[in-house]
Amino acid sequence: MSQLDWIVLAISLVAVIIYGVYRSRTSYNLDGYFLSNRSMNWGLILLSIMGTQASAVTFISAPGQAYTDGMRFVQYYFGLPIAMIILCIFFVPIFYKLKVYTAYEYLENRFNGKTRTLTSFLFLLQRGLSTGISVFAPSIILSSLFGWNIYWTNLFMGGLLIIYTVSGGAKAVAYTQQLQLIIIFTGMFLAAYMVVRMLPANVGFSDALYVGGKLGKMNIITSGFTKNGFDWSDQYNLFSGIIGGFFLALSYFGTDQSQVGRYLTARSVGESRLGLLMNGLVKVPMQFLILLIGILVFSFYLFNKAPIFFNSKQISRLESSTVYKDSFTRAQQAYEQVAVAKQKTVTEFASALEAKNDAELDKKGEELKLLQTQSDSIRKKVKQWIAKSGGDNNDTNYIFLGFVVTYLPEGLVGLLIAIIFLASWGSIAAALNSLASCSMVDFHRRFSKKEIKPKDEYRISQWYTLGWGLFCVVVAMFTYNIGNSLIEAVNVLGSLFYGVILGVFLVAFFLKKIQNGNAVFLSALLAEAVVLIVFILTKIPSANFKLGFLWLNPIGALGVILFSLLIHAISKKKKVMLAIHDHAETTT
């Protein structure tokens, strides 16, 4: 990074911290610290919800995802707008009416304290670990790219935001997220503009999309159906996106305190609803545009030679490997030959496009497809060698940043790196605030034998925020030692628990006849067992059972509902039998 990049990076980060601390002033009680005294308007709610959901990986990984797999990832968000509507109708009014601090507080009112404790504990466990990973994931990418020390990078990624999150609570989180998103969107727009500008003179924006589309990258809508019927293992298609994505979004926005805590800060139910509905309107187009940057980068790399693998650290691994060194050298030579041929063909393709020569367009398009298949198969081989030599063979997260660092001008690189930090800070700060609120409200306050003054509650909450912040940084530090498998495990963790937690809430909201908290508690445990069994089956090759992870969410949610109904029916039948038995005894 150049000096100018460092200056831009430092100014962006310091500006956000100062702004966060400046906006920290709030009343010294839990209402002020966790709910911003319920004073936020819908605009802040919207930005806060978006800032919480979009982590650094969203901005790094999504363009890379489009580069490798095409645009179809956008379907993952199709269920989100529907979930926003359900939240507005059912969840938001209840949370407001009960004046809860956490979503789980409602479950004690509805069922019992045990159910509240279980769901809140599951949240703390899952969110605490995943936030640690949220610190580590962008840190390891930046560390690999720039050769930075991973421990220092972790400390900056997860440590600096603690300053304003501890001092200002939910208010500071919301206001900094607003500034962060402004910087993030500016940077992403400039990056997209630069990619288009760097394409050859006769290739415009739509031409770049056309080239990408010719090579199968504009696969925005896919049905998931193959010759053999519906492919249940397909992660992203219209149906898994709408159904699985709906359940995932409903559980994430309706039962995950890091999101619930954002819209509880709204000054009214209406402001809260509007923030959520606006999120439903803008999320899909926003994600589409981020993915589109990936297609532009893909087209750019057709005209300019793309690296065989975007994580240079892993390439060094192969180059120094005694087993794969020679094979890798040969593969690299073959890859470069194909890249030169691709450059020539895509230039001819662009000329045919300009001349509107359909016959030539089809011919060059077919040639391009063939060359792309060849380069893909070489890349596949290289990935296999990296995996066999014990390295990380997924370079999706390095594609966009690799492009940024290599091709973007000075200053913009610093801004894009700042985006990584700021996007991380936005989601981590919200997570710390929610972890502290659950620790304080769902545990400390309930189990403390002493009466706590409001000002002391405020101070203790600050300590909890600090404690969780340090915990997440420590998790990030340990993750480096444990390796990538843990990252995958923690990513799956969300899908393993979200569905069940959502199921508990759905029973609470919609099955009024079920009053027995113990029945719901037992149902949650049984449904969790089913989800775990299904998940394990997908991991056993001999079981020959394939299922995309999004489907675990509806399975968990429906599992709780079905078990609750079943237990309710059995206990009702038992009661009737006992009553008959008692009646028979008394009459005899």
Partner 1 sequence: MSQCGYMPMRVLVIDTSPYSTLQIDFMSDQKDKIPLFKAWTHWYVLVIGVLVLLIVLFYWLTKTFA
Q: Would you tell me which residues interact with partner 1 (CB under 8 A)? A: 74, 78, 81-82, 84-85, 88-90, 93-94, 97-98, 109-111, 209-210, 212-214, 216, 218-221, 238, 268-271, 273-274, 277, 280-281, 284-285, 288, 508-510, 512, 515
Q: Closest approach of Cβ 422 to partner 1, in Å?
A: 27
Nearest CB to partner 1, comparing residues 273 and 379: 273
67 vs 78, beta carbon nearer partner 1: 78
CB of 25 to partner 1, least distance (A): 27
In whole angstroms, give the CA distance from residue 155 to residue 421.
Answer: 11
**Burial environment of residue 275 by CB neighbours within 10 A (0 to 12, 13 to 18, 19 or more):** buried
Name the residue nearer to partner 1 (CB basis): 106 or 335: 106
What does the angle CA 165 – CA 169 – CA 174 come to, to the nearest 5 degrees? 85
Burial level of 202, CB count in 10 A (0-12/13-18/19+)? exposed
Q: Which is nearer to partner 1, 48 or 287 (CB)?
A: 287
CB nearer to partner 1: pick between 285 and 483: 285
Q: How far is the CB of 423 from partner 1 (least distance, A)?
A: 24
- Residue position matching structure tokens 């607003």: 178
DSSP string, 103-114: TTHHHHHHT-HH
CB of 362 to partner 1, least distance (A): 13
CB of 327 to partner 1, least distance (A): 35
Residue pair 423/53 in contact by the 8 Å Cβ criterion: no
Q: Which of residues 97 and 330 has its CB atom nearest to partner 1 in the complex?
A: 97
CA distance 428 to 414: 21
Q: CB of 512: closest distance to partner 1 in angstroms?
A: 5
* Least distance from partner 1 to the Cβ atom of residue 347, Å: 19
Q: Are 204 and 309 in contact (CB under 8 A)?
A: no
* HEC letters along 425-493: HHHHHHHHHHHHHHHHHHHHHHHCCCCCCHHHHHHHHHHHHHHHHHHHHHHHHHHHHHCHHHHHHHHHH
Question: What is the nearest approach in angstroms of partner 1 to the Cβ of residue 376?
Answer: 17
Q: Does residue 451 contact residue 108 with C-beta atoms inside 8 Å?
A: no
Q: Which is nearer to partner 1, 281 or 387 (CB)?
A: 281
CB atoms within 10 A of CB 579: 10
Q: How far is it between the farthest Cα atoms of the chain? A: 100
Q: Pick the closer one to partner 1 by CB: 70 or 261.
A: 70
Output 218 or 412, the one with its CB closest to partner 1: 218
Shortest distance in whole angstroms from residue 507 CB to partner 1: 10
Shortest distance in whole angstroms from residue 457 CB to partner 1: 24
Q: Which tokens belong to 194?
A: 């630069």
Pick from 159, 117, 116, 153: which is nearest to 138 by CA?
Answer: 153
Q: Do the Cβ atoms of 447 and 439 come closer than 8 Å?
A: no
Residue appearing with tokens 């909201």: 509
Asked if 477 contacts 143 with a C-beta cutoff of 8 angstroms, the reply is no
What is the C-alpha to C-alpha distance for residues 555 and 534, in angstroms, rounded to an integer?
9
**Three-state secondary-structure class, residue 40:** strand
Taking the least distance from each CB to partner 1, the nearer of 20 and 280 is 280
Nearer to partner 1, 238 or 470 (CB): 238
User: Who's near 359: CB < 8 A, 6+ residues apart?
Assistant: none
Minimum Å gap between C-beta 267 and partner 1 is 10
Strand, helix or coil for residue 514: coil
103 neighbors 252 (Cβ within 8 angstroms): no
Spatial distance between the Cα atoms of 491 and 494, rounded to a whole number of angstroms: 6
| Closer of 262 and 273 to partner 1 (Cβ) | 273
DSSP symbol at 225: E
